Amino acid sequence: MSFLEELKRRRTFAIIAHPDAGKTTLTEKLLLFGGAIQTAGAVKSNKIKKSTTSDFMEIEKQRGISVATSVMTFEYKNLKINILDTPGHKDFAEDTYRTLTAVDSVVLVVDCVKGVEEQTERLMEVCRMRDTPVIIFVNKMDRDGQNPFDLLDELESKLNIKVRPLTWPVNGGSDFKGVYHLLDKKLNFFKVNKTRVEDDILPIELNSQLLDEAVGAKDANQLREDVELIEGVYDEFDPQSYLKGEVAPVFFGSGVNNFGVMELLDTFCAISPNPISRQTDKRVVEPTENKLTGFVFKIHANIDPKHRDRIAFLRICSGQFERGKFYKHVRLGKDMRFASPFMFMADRKDVVEDGYPGDVIGLYDTGNFKIGDTLTEGEALQFTGIPSFSPEIFKEVINTDPMKSKQLEKGIQQLTEEGVAQLFTVPLGNRRIIGTVGELQFEVIQYRLLQEYGASCRFEAKSYTKACWLTSDDKQKLAEFIRLKHNQIAYDKDENPVFFAETDWILRMNEQNNPDITFHKTSEFKVTG
């Protein structure tokens, strides 16, 4: 197959959801369709089930599973589809945000009973920042959920995106009869069946008597009314608006019953984008360019504590990746080759000879990579749009074993490079402050520092809730601000100044009083991705 053919058949996306909405179930059904797995139950949920944060076995298990399920690849209708896994637990949201930088589109799963939940809103904010195309799957239609029209209104208002249903449910809950495909004009009957991969589809016209026979006169009339309302209220579905991230097509179904999944998958295959062009600090890189470019969006370290190996996940943006060939690590200005690059195939990993735009390649790393690092065939460019997001919980690291300061320093450095949390340094006394989006990370860090580096520490809570990166065209004003506010200033890993604030209000006051200084909510302020 030619390079262009390989490129055109790639689809790389993430499934995002609030925990328990059905992400794992849907992923599994998609893999079943693709023949990548043979039986239900083969995909392990990577969620930490319990709310308790002290189950360390669970954390370890989670780390193992999340490597195995980081990328799942399957073939369907001659397309090569890469699903990038995103941790559902909110404390790992930052990992999810970064994964979203490596995909070309997203499928959002919403529970029809619970509607739009907190985590859904935050994940969608990131998609909206990047104009990522989104398809919505309303799951668990076999449960008594909200009225579908109300749900659509909620999706629009809370997720700040226009929606367009492409299927429509006939009833819901115990009386759920199926979904009507609004474009294909076909009725898909619902049957409880957890293993079936074929759907029971009847091509029925809305006005046909067959519809009454199939679902009963009352439901048939209700469906006709609903469809009339939909056609009146919603604009016709426009794939271009979807690709621009302006409108999200909506499907209804039941993942666990394998229902509505095929419509979703078929539409996804028909409309979702090929690998898209990507912004760098120098220029836009087109996937069709024949020279390799790619960036690291995830690093997994010390899976086996006996080996200090790390795995860097490289998203290929252009060109063909070849095993054993030298590539330039732009930040280090160093040529590197990879003897055993691998790809994940559902439940196993295989060494690969090559990879194409959209693919994610696992590279064994001995400490050369940081998140955001770029590989090229020589050109000095750096992909942008892989920012750090403002953490919400801040704690100072206090060393409790002075004999192990070096180990502590190294451990903190490596774990934060891996992206477990963000590290800020306060110049006075070289104090270390760790910022995260969830409490769980602190337990993970403390546990891993001890297990993997033999270092022990405790954390002292800080009252900050916001961190903003600072820039200004007026260098003097910035220096003056930093001097005045030195108690609230620290530096990130790249030595950019960051301002800590206790509350939104304090942050706003500082913004108002210092109009020459810009307060950025993410670390990337020069170019947006």
> Which chain residues interact with ligand G4P by CB under 6 A?
17, 19-25, 45, 47, 88, 139-140, 142-143, 254-257
Give the three-class secondary structure for 127: helix
User: Which tokens is 100 given?
Assistant: 């979203």
Q: How far is the CB of 124 from ligand G4P (least distance, A)?
A: 15
DSSP conformation letters of 370-393: -TT-EEESS----B---PPBP-SE
* Rounded alpha-carbon distances, angstroms, from residue 236 to 108, 187, 426, 428: 21, 19, 55, 60
Nearer to ligand G4P, 257 or 514 (CB): 257
Nearer to ligand G4P, 18 or 404 (CB): 18
How many Cβ atoms are within 10 Å of 512's Cβ, its own excluded?
8
Strands in 334-337's sheet, in edge-to-edge order, are 334-337, 326-329, 374-376, 293-301, 310-318, 360-365, 342-345, 348-351
The amino acid present at 183, given as its one-letter code, is L
Q: Which residues of 41-57 are buried (b: 16+ CB within 10 A; e: fewer)?
A: eebbbbbbeeeebeeee
Q: How far is the CB of 44 from ligand G4P (least distance, A)?
A: 10
Q: What is the dihedral of CA 524, 526, 527, 529, to 10 degrees?
A: 0
Q: How far is the CB of 469 from ligand G4P (least distance, A)?
A: 32
Nearer to ligand G4P, 22 or 287 (CB): 22
**Are residues 522 and 469 in contact, defined by beta-carbon separation less than 8 angstroms?**
yes
Q: How far is the CB of 498 from ligand G4P (least distance, A)?
A: 33
Nearer to ligand G4P, 177 or 310 (CB): 177
Q: How far is the CB of 267 from ligand G4P (least distance, A)?
A: 18
Tokens 């949920």 — which residue? Answer: 45
User: Which tokens is 514 given?
Assistant: 């210092």
Nearer to ligand G4P, 176 or 499 (CB): 176
Q: How far is the CB of 97 from ligand G4P (least distance, A)?
A: 17
Nearer to ligand G4P, 253 or 385 (CB): 253
User: Which tokens is 88 given?
Assistant: 């559902």
Number of alpha helices (DSSP H) and beta strands (DSSP E) in the chain: 14, 31
Q: How far is the CB of 255 from ligand G4P (least distance, A)?
A: 4
User: Which tokens is 364 given?
Assistant: 């064994």
Nearer to ligand G4P, 260 or 341 (CB): 260
**Are residues 521 and 457 in contact, defined by beta-carbon separation less than 8 angstroms?**
no
Q: How far is the CB of 467 from ligand G4P (least distance, A)?
A: 29
In angstroms, rounded to a whole number, what is the distance separating the alpha carbons of residues 75 and 3? 17
Nearer to ligand G4P, 61 or 143 (CB): 143
Tokens 């194409």 — which residue? Answer: 356
Nearer to ligand G4P, 58 or 377 (CB): 58
Nearer to ligand G4P, 21 or 182 (CB): 21
Nearest to 134 by CA among 110, 170, 169: 110
**Are residues 162 and 247 in contact, defined by beta-carbon separation less than 8 angstroms?**
yes
Q: How far is the CB of 230 from ligand G4P (least distance, A)?
A: 22
* Rounded alpha-carbon distances, angstroms, from residue 416 to 80, 197, 259, 310: 33, 42, 41, 13
Q: How far is the CB of 200 from ligand G4P (least distance, A)?
A: 16
Nearest to 529 by CA among 311, 315, 376, 290: 315
Nearer to ligand G4P, 22 or 165 (CB): 22
Q: How far is the CB of 41 from ligand G4P (least distance, A)?
A: 8
